Structure 1
Amino acid sequence: MSTIHVVTEIYIYPIKSLAGISLQSAKTEEMGFENDRRWMLIDAENQMLTQREHRIMSQFYPQIEGGKISITFEDQKHEFSIDESLENILEVNVWDDKSEVVEVNNETSKWFSQHLGFECKLVKILKNGSRKHESSRLQEIFNVSLADGYPYLLIGTESLDFLNDKLDEKITIKRFRPNIVVRTKKAHEEDDFTNFKIGEVQFKNIKPCGRCVMVNNDPENGRLKKEPLKTLSKYRNVDNSVLFGTNIVSLNTGNISVGDTIVF
């Protein structure tokens, strides 16, 4: 058992592309942590909305308590029930994957429309299996939430430290929106993790994560910077993809906590 590889942080992002929530423990499910990216904003043409085009989305802060999700934006707050939804099923795309979703309610959609400045809806994935993602590398199909590609993203602490040593303006792990942060001793060693266990849960490594311009969006203020993508592209560019962190899947349901050790 390693004494190095310990979970230091856990995050979920209930609504795709909005701010995340730091947790001390989380329950794993096949398509991601419980309540992680089960919701998403779509525009009037039912196209997904992300920080890539709307950086202000990083300034909406969710919290979960008592079966409700509350969203704070500037000095305004709105909440809705986790189980709440309308009946009409919509088909939307998350990149190349089709997914069945339902609108949460008209009032919530109106609230987001007012603060974003254009018509949009908040939708929720219908159920596990409503969105399937095929891994071309493994030729396997995974049930995924409304995340970009895979259920979980894991990043090692040394990967960030190694990057920050090259940057004039240091950044935090929040730029990369991980689900699990693990203390490591070598930069990017998480790329080579295979099967491993954290707490009650067995995980499988799928592939290193290719990053986009969204990592240049400063989550503290929603401003677009030149870094870290500029620097990362100099030493982490593989087959025209800039890699940082690794995509993983859980092989069973269970709980993991900050302080848990990875067992290989």
Structure 2
Amino acid sequence: MILDRILIYPLKSGGSHSLSEATVHPWGLDGDRRWAVVDEHGDNLWLGEFPRLASVTAHPTPGGGLRLTAREMEQVTVPPATGEATPVGFSGLDKAVLADGAAHAWFTELLGRPARLVWLDDPGRRSIDPAHGGLPGEVVSFAWDAPLLLVSESSAGVLDGWLAEEAATRGEDAPGRLSRLRFRPNVIVEGAEAFAEDGWREVRIGTVPFRVSELCDRCAVTTIDPETQVKGKEPLRTLARHRKWDGKTWFGVRLVPREPGRIRVGDPVTAR
């Protein structure tokens, strides 16, 4: 197997950036999900409820700020977050740092409701929920339940076939290749047998070892087209027909780094 793609999402629920290489920290890839959008109570405003967040491109700026762009919005540059700490509703985390007021106004306009941008100043403060496979001392950024998410290109290819078959039974045109970004992976591997990842417990990418903390249960976020932000029924409807058990639908695996290091596109990948 080889590492086919590396992706980060500087803003949780925002758009992705493809990288040729990345530094792996205990809490995830460098620059991944250190910013998040919350409401006036500190609760996460997530992509499944606010699909327009997927239109946001967040570019890190020198010194630790952020440049934000989105369709039909003026670009705004956010300085490094130096505001007060505010309570937030993320598991394993009590507070995050408020960004500049201009960012709050920008996201409020984008979403049509009160919103604030927050910065996770120290990801080492947020523990991984034991209910999602977290062990003592393991930490995570604003990502949901693990530092990295791995998706297999072979598994995605099988899903493409299932989607084509479902479309044919409804007399519809084949949908074509599904965007892998619907699954919001950090790493995409190529060369594994389809769904072999279900049985993996350890993964090594280049020289960096990872522990598989759990399979990834999929939600309505997968039904949002990352290019158009239009929400539909696929691929979750078809995926559930083939990959549903224990009341959940599964695709991909969550990884926890065992050691820091650096990964590169083209790195060999081994698993057991």
TM-score normalised by the chain length of structure 2: 0.89
Alignment partner of 1:147 is 2:143: yes
- Once residues 162 and 60 of structure 2 are traced to their aligned partners in structure 1, the CA distance between those partners, rounded to angstroms, is 36
| Deviation at residue 219 of structure 1 after TM alignment | 0.7
Instruction: Provide the rounded CA distance (Å) in 2 between the counterparts of 1:40 and 1:137.
Output: 21
**Post-superposition CA distance 1:242-263 (Å, at most 9, x none):** 0000001111111101000013
Q: 1:31–1:144: 8 Å Cα contact kept in structure 2?
A: yes
Amino acid of the residue matched to residue 92 of structure 2? D
Q: Does 1:22 align with 2:18?
A: yes
> Quick check: which one's helix share is greater?
2
| Residue 42 (structure 2) aligned to one of 26, 43, 46 | 46
User: Which amino acid in structure 2 is aligned with residue 229 of structure 1?
Assistant: L
Q: In the alignment, what sits opposite 1:72?
A: 69
For structure 1, which segment, 103-112 or 138-147, has the greater mean C-alpha deviation from structure 2 after superposition?
A: 138-147
Deviations 1:59-101 (A, max 9, x none): 11122353443221115212224xx12341122112x433420
Distance 2:129 2:111 in 1: 32
Q: Is the contact between residue 6 and residue 262 of structure 1 (CA under 8 Å) also seen in structure 2?
A: yes
Shift, 1:196, TM fit: 2.8
- Equivalent residue for 2:218? 211
- Runs of 5+ consecutive residues of structure 1 not aligned to the other structure: none
Match of 2:167 in 1: none
Whole-angstrom CA distance in 2 between matches of 1:130 and 1:139: 14
Task: Give the equivalent residue in structure 2 for 1:169.
Answer: 175
Q: Quote the residue 1:119 is aligned against.
A: 114
Tell me if the contact between 2:128 and 2:134 (Cα under 8 Å) persists in the aligned partners.
no
- Give the Cα separation in 2 of the matches to 1:106 and 1:138: 36
CA RMSD of aligned residues (A): 1.7
Equivalents in 1 of 2:23, 2:59: separation in Å?
16
Q: 2:28 aligns with which of 32, 36, 48?
A: 32
**Residue number in structure 1 paired with 2:53:** 57
Higher strand share: 1
Instruction: Give the Cα separation in 2 of the matches to 1:99 and 1:191.
Output: 33
More deviation, 13-22/194-203 = 194-203
- Greater Cα offset, 110-119 or 234-243: 110-119
Give the alignment partner of residue 178 of structure 1, picking from 185, 205, 222: 185
Aligned to 1:12: 8
Counterpart Cα distance in 2 of 1:210 and 1:150 = 12
Is the contact between residue 100 and residue 126 of structure 1 (CA under 8 Å) also seen in structure 2? no
* 1:229 alignment partner in structure 2: 236
Q: For residue 148 of structure 1, report the CA deviation from its aligned partner.
A: 1.1
Residues 98, 257 of structure 1: CA spacing in aligned structure 2 closer, same or farther, 3 A cutoff?
A: same
Separation in structure 1 between the aligned mates of residue 241 and residue 270 of structure 2, nearest angstrom:
32
Identical residues among aligned pairs (%): 28
Following TM superposition, by how much is the alpha carbon of 1:177 offset from its aligned partner in structure 2, in angstroms? 0.4
* 2-structure distance, mates of 1:149, 1:205: 12
* Alignment coverage as a number of residue pairs: 257
Native 8 Å contact 1:99 1:132 kept in 2: no
**TM-score under structure 1 length normalisation:** 0.92
